[in-house]
Amino acid sequence: MRIGLIGAGRIGAFHAGTLAAHPAVTELVVADADAARAGDVAARHHAAVLPVGELLAGRPDAVVIASATAAHAGLIAGAARAGVPAFCEKPVAVDLARTVAALDTVTRAGALLQIGFQRRFDAGYAAAREALRAGRVGRLHTVRTVSSDAVPPPAAYVPLSGGLYRDCLIHDFDMLRWVTGREITDVYATGADEGEDFFRAAGDVDTAAALLTLEGGVLATATATRYHAAGYDVRMELAGTADQLVVGIGPRAPLTSVEPEAGGGAGERPPAARWPGFLERFAPAYRAELDAFLRVVRGELPNPCEGREALRALLVAEACEVSRRERRPVAVAEVEAAARACTAELDGAVG
Ligand SMILES: NC(=O)c1ccc[n+]([C@@H]2O[C@H](COP(=O)([O-])OP(=O)(O)OC[C@H]3O[C@@H](n4cnc5c(N)ncnc54)[C@H](O)[C@@H]3O)[C@@H](O)[C@H]2O)c1
């Protein structure tokens, strides 16, 4: 397969390695707004370099979009119009109007779009989903999610990211939906900004918490921070009437128990062993999602994460932003109504 990669930054460079090593990929072409960056990544993987327009005009078998978030929607639409199947990193866009417009273009073109919610390919989340379906926790009543970055992203990333809810917690919202099989109906969110100035300058927060109500009265909390020097920490706890399941507690989780029987906090988990970041923690999942994408393109698998899945998670993130700004609980249906107003064609996109 001849595959194009658009965006050669942190995640794009990782995806380049996966694609170059994949047995189905015979040719890899890299594009980035920063030609030098595209050249560096291409050189490491014996790939070619082209400007974005030429890459799409050359009609590769598929493209992987890993550019800055602000460029996703235009690139998704461009790929759909060129008839090129696309995988795109989350989120589809920084706002609902652009998300809806991009998904509408995909629908109209009858194009293939898979979204990069890689946690769907993580062994722990998949096991929790199965166990829940098998009735292991009894009646699920409480879920707690944690997403903590060990260090903040580069300052230049933040204004283009869409903010902490759309950029980071969107993974937790997708997992709440995917693992429990329930939609999130209401949110109450807040955020704090005690870190570096560039978060405030971008209108973003560096730490956030959301209280979420899911269908069937399941209650959830989701927290995220950009400042967690203990290590990269992504977890989900699912508590029910019969049992409790935890995703993300393993030998590399950056947690120190201060209980005497656990060593009283005396470094039972050396800092070097802790997850440093998302690339290490989710490396197998990132590889698995692209392997799945190539199989979807070849018609061997159904699409594991369509555009409307990304839209549902984004609606929750949007509701959190409204809640934080206006300091009030927000029904996701309220934001969905605003999204429906974006286009008369939305019914198809929202699903
Ligand atoms: N799934 C995940 O866990 C995960 C993790 C990290 C990042 N991401 C997503 O991946 C995307 C990239 O994140 P990153 O951390 O690699 O960012 P980054 O800033 O390191 O890289 C972004 C790259 O996109 C390029 N770019 C910007 N506009 C472009 C355009 N119009 N055409 C071509 N290239 C363009 C930039 O030059 C840069 O090289 C973001 O949307 C982010 O949300 C997802």
Q: Which helix (H) or strand (E) holds 260?
A: none
Residue ID of nearest Cα to ligand 1 atom 30? 33
Return d(Cα 305, Cα 86) in angstroms, integer.
12
Return d(Cα 50, Cα 32) in angstroms, integer.
8
Residue ID of nearest Cα to ligand 1 atom 39? 9
Give the closest residue to 339 by CA, choosing from 319, 309, 325, 321: 319
Answer CATH for 2-119+286-305 from 3.20.20.70, 1.50.10.10, 3.40.50.280, 3.40.50.720: 3.40.50.720
Q: Establish whether residue 102 lines the binding site of ligand 1, counting it when its CB lies within 6 angstroms of any ligand atom.
A: no
What are 196's two structure tokens? 């570096």
Helices of type H across 122-249: 123-133, 164, 170-180, 197-201
What is the strand order of the sheet 233-240 is part of? 244-247, 233-240, 140-148, 218-225, 207-214, 184-192, 330-331
Domain with CATH 3.30.360.10 in the chain: 123-277
Ligand 1 atom nearest residue 69's Cα: 41
Q: Establish whether residue 338 lines the binding site of ligand 1, counting it when its CB lies within 6 angstroms of any ligand atom.
A: no
Return d(Cα 6, Cα 255) in angstroms, integer.
36
pLDDT tens digits, one per residue of 76-120:
999 999 999 999 999 999 889 999 999 999 999 999 999 999 999
Return d(Cα 246, Cα 236) in angstroms, integer.
6
Q: Establish whether residue 279 lines the binding site of ligand 1, counting it when its CB lies within 6 angstroms of any ligand atom.
A: no
pLDDT of residue 256: 87
Ligand 1 atom nearest residue 282's Cα: 3
Domain with CATH 3.40.50.720 in the chain: 2-119+286-305
The whole-model pTM stands at 0.94
Give the closest residue to 251 by CA, choosing from 275, 235, 227, 216: 275
Q: Establish whether residue 286 lines the binding site of ligand 1, counting it when its CB lies within 6 angstroms of any ligand atom.
A: no
The superfamily (CATH) of domain 123-277 is Dihydrodipicolinate Reductase; domain 2 (3.30.360.10)
pLDDT tens digits, one per residue of 169-220:
999 999 999 999 999 999 999 999 999 999 999 999 999 999 999 999 999 9
Residues of the chain below pLDDT 50: 346, 349-351
